[in-house]
Amino acid sequence: MADGRVLAQLHFGREDAERDVTEGLLLRGGFLPNAAYRGALSGRKMLIIGRKGAGKSAICMQLMAADGARAHNGGKVLVTPDEAAGEEIRRFELQGLPGDSAKALIWRYVFAVHAARHIVAHAKGTHDGGNRLDSVKALGRFLKQNGESADGVPGGGGGGRLGERLAQGARGLQTSLSLEAFGVKASVDLAQSPSEGVRAARQLEVVEQGVARAFADLGCDGDVHAPLLLMVDQLEQVWSAEPDSNSMVIGLLLAAKHAASLYGRSVRFLLFLRADIYDSLSFGEGDKFHGDELRIGWTEQALRDLALARARASAGAALSEEQLWNELFPETVGGEETATYLFRRCLPRPRDAIQFLNACQETAWLEHGRDRITEADVEQAGRQFSAWKLKDLSSEYLVAHPFLKNLFPLFQNTGYAVTRAALAGRFEAAAESLHHDFPAYAHALTLSGVIDVLYGVGFLGVRRGNGVVFAGADDLPVQPHETEFHIHACFRAALGATSPFDLRPYEPQLADARIASGSFSPETSGFTARNRDDRLLQQLGRSCHSILAQVGRAVTLTPDVGDEIRRQINRVLDDVNRIPPGAASSMGVNVDEYLLATAHYFSALAAQLLASGLDDTTGAGGVAHRIEEEARRLRRAAGGSLGSSGNSSGP
């Protein structure tokens, strides 16, 4: 890289799509078209579902803002309810109709009004003489008579204006809309309706038929030009885990399905829903929406592609992948390829990746004034990022799982691999307090309930075969027979759970400066003692190799746990290999004490391994027993008679 200006320019964008559009990065090549975008653009899918930060709003903003052959170039309407609008929908009721059906009517009214306003403006601006058609003029009169005039900005769906319109529309449906524009006098023609709900449905049908008729008269069937694109986003801003909120969302789904069928190819609907909200819904017609669903998923490679696209959008199109990951970023972090290191420590969604990447850039450039990011910068940013994400997770699920934050202490300052048995002991100690603080959720605050919640939100993964699976990568929920869970790497630093189990690392016993420099003078006396010292040290080496072999044979042992044990045993081996044959006494090493201290460490290691709950079912039991067996062997060797090897037992 020529100079430090590239790092100064490097920016991976904003966490929210709205600011990304405002500042231009999203439209300068920072948007990565994915399956969800292609499905939305093609009209094949109506429901775009994803976790918070997965890119739902980015797709929505791209469709709203982008022009050109590849973009949707028809009319566009974006509805983003604020709290006032959400309150109107949640409170909307009609005598004679269940809550879901009543709220479907108010959503259908919103869609019909937006479609009518689009038609009136579209007929005037696009179709020569279209505004003189009777069906179009009728829509104009209807809008004016009901305070929904088309003289505003088409598609103005957010803010208080939508709330005011919803309040007015709700009153009209609950009492009577002005339908004279369609030749209907509500007080006369609808007076015989058996209930408030039936009367509202009949009024709405008159309006919808008027809209459909105008589309047909104009020939707007999706062939001459693109259909009206009507999108609903950010519903989570007005959702709570209450029945009326769920009815609001169910009503939206039912209304969109009905309107899509009624208006045909004249209108396309796109609903952007958070996965936890959609998955919490239960209603009779839910199975009819599977064909409309498209869930946003991100792989490590997709996040790499996104990072490069955004880096190029900010620092220049000439930036290569090699320059990004080998020059601006360090090639490796902690012995792991940098991009893999970064994206393994993110939940698989763009918002997390953007935040982590920006944190690395800001740590290096703003905080330390460097012209490239170092390994230390990534590690420092990673600790900050982990703290952010742990806090964000509890905020993301505050409505559905308000107790989530109170579960995190169960995993603090311990290993990131935890068994069902170990978690049961921790949960038992905390259960009374949790039930006291969250009595309404006592039914969910059981061991299996807590595991299901922590797996569902992405905090815990479950060991399956030789890998660990997290929610989203596998649709299968946690099974009763599954016993081993792992904290996601995203949260480990914040919890102080950076090793697979609560392990005290081996501290080298040899700190003499002569060892480090290699300057020592073996003595020529004490031949017998020196041979005994060498045999004892050789025994220690054999014990290490025996433990390593047992780890290799434990095929069901969690790979991370096995790697950590190997790391510590190899540190023991490295330490003992620093003592050349015949040099122990000249280096001031008391070999008996050395072996006893190492045996004590082995015993502690075995105890920590078993205390972590990693038992025989995980392969850890056999390893722990072998470690303890080698500890006993070393103690016998150190306590044996002069010249004895102490190796009286088998390997």
Beta strands in 370-477 (DSSP E): 417-419, 460-464, 467-469
User: Alpha-carbon distance 556 to 541, whole Å?
Assistant: 25
pLDDT at 641 exceeding the cut of 60? no
Mean pLDDT of 159-166: 65
CATH class of the domain whose range is 5-20+299-396: mainly alpha
* The pLDDT value given to residue 105: 93
Q: Of the ranges 255-264, 284-293, 328-337, which one carries the lowest mean pLDDT score? A: 284-293
Better-predicted residue by pLDDT, 67 or 88: 88
Mean pLDDT of 46-67: 84
Mean pLDDT of 199-206: 90
Mean pLDDT of 403-424: 92
Confirm if 36 and 59 have CB atoms less than 8 A apart.
yes
Confirm if 173 and 204 have CB atoms less than 8 A apart.
yes
Question: pLDDT category, 570, cuts 50, 70, 90?
Answer: very high
Q: Which residues are CB-neighbours of 527 under 8 A, at least 6 positions away?
A: none
Question: pLDDT category, 128, cuts 50, 70, 90?
Answer: low
* The pLDDT value given to residue 85: 81
User: Alpha-carbon distance 562 to 556, whole Å?
Assistant: 10
Q: Of the ranges 272-286, 426-440, 443-457, which one carries the lowest mean pLDDT score? A: 272-286
| Total number of residues shown for the chain | 651
Q: What is the percent of the chain where pLDDT is above 90?
A: 40
* The pLDDT value given to residue 244: 86
Query: Computed from CA positions of residues 312, 314, 318, 319, in that sequence, does the dihedral angle turn out positive or negative?
Result: negative
Mean pLDDT of 521-548: 75
| Amino acid type, 215 | F
Confirm if 385 and 355 have CB atoms less than 8 A apart.
yes
pLDDT at 212 exceeding the cut of 90? yes
Better-predicted residue by pLDDT, 372 or 130: 372
Q: What is the pLDDT of residues 267-291, one digit of tens each?
A: 999 999 998 899 888 888 888 888 8
Q: Which residues are CB-neighbours of 324 under 8 A, at least 6 positions away?
A: 307, 308, 311
* The pLDDT value given to residue 496: 92
Full 3-state SS string of 493-554:
HHHCCCCCCCCCCCCCCCCCHHHHHCCCCCCCCCHHHHHHHHHHHHHHHHHHHHHHHHHHHC
* The pLDDT value given to residue 614: 67
Six-digit token string for 243? 């029945």
* The pLDDT value given to residue 130: 65
* The pLDDT value given to residue 32: 78
Q: What is the pLDDT of residues 216-248, one digit of tens each?
A: 988 887 677 788 999 999 888 888 878 888 899
* The pLDDT value given to residue 643: 40
* The pLDDT value given to residue 557: 82
Question: pLDDT category, 25, cuts 50, 70, 90?
Answer: low
Better-predicted residue by pLDDT, 99 or 546: 546
pLDDT at 150 exceeding the cut of 60? no
Helices and strands (H, E) in the chain, number of each type: 25, 11
Confirm if 99 and 252 have CB atoms less than 8 A apart.
no
User: Alpha-carbon distance 634 to 629, whole Å?
Assistant: 9
C-alpha neighbours within 13 Å on the C-beta side of residue 179: 26
Whole-number average pLDDT of the chain: 83
End-to-end CA distance of the chain: 56
**Alpha helix (H) residue ranges in 66-185:** 83-91, 99-125, 134-145, 159-174
User: Alpha-carbon distance 475 to 463, whole Å?
Assistant: 14
Question: pLDDT category, 160, cuts 50, 70, 90?
Answer: very low
pLDDT at 572 exceeding the cut of 70? yes
* The pLDDT value given to residue 19: 66
Mean pLDDT of 331-339: 94
3-class SS of residue 242: coil
pLDDT at 642 exceeding the cut of 50? no
* The pLDDT value given to residue 129: 64
* The pLDDT value given to residue 520: 42
* The pLDDT value given to residue 404: 96
Confirm if 231 and 77 have CB atoms less than 8 A apart.
yes
* The pLDDT value given to residue 175: 80
* The pLDDT value given to residue 17: 64
pLDDT at 646 exceeding the cut of 60? no
Confirm if 38 and 29 have CB atoms less than 8 A apart.
no
Question: pLDDT category, 48, cuts 50, 70, 90?
Answer: very high
181 phi and psi, to 5 degrees? -60, -25
Maximum mean pLDDT: which of 163-177, 272-286, 609-623: 272-286
Q: What is the pLDDT of residues 102-118, one digit of tens each?
A: 999 999 999 999 999 99
Confirm if 313 and 29 have CB atoms less than 8 A apart.
yes
* The pLDDT value given to residue 180: 86
* The pLDDT value given to residue 171: 82
Mean pLDDT of 305-322: 90
* The pLDDT value given to residue 466: 78
Mean pLDDT of 595-616: 83
Mean pLDDT of 521-530: 47
What is the distance, to the nearest Å, from the Cα of residue 387 to the centroid of all Cα atoms in its chain?
15
Question: pLDDT category, 1, cuts 50, 70, 90?
Answer: very low
* The pLDDT value given to residue 65: 74
Mean pLDDT of 375-396: 95
Question: pLDDT category, 440, cuts 50, 70, 90?
Answer: very high
Pairing of strands 417-419, 484-487: antiparallel
pLDDT at 151 exceeding the cut of 80? no
Bridge partners, 337 (sequence order): 332
* The pLDDT value given to residue 301: 93
pLDDT at 388 exceeding the cut of 60? yes
Mean pLDDT of 537-545: 92
pLDDT at 403 exceeding the cut of 90? yes
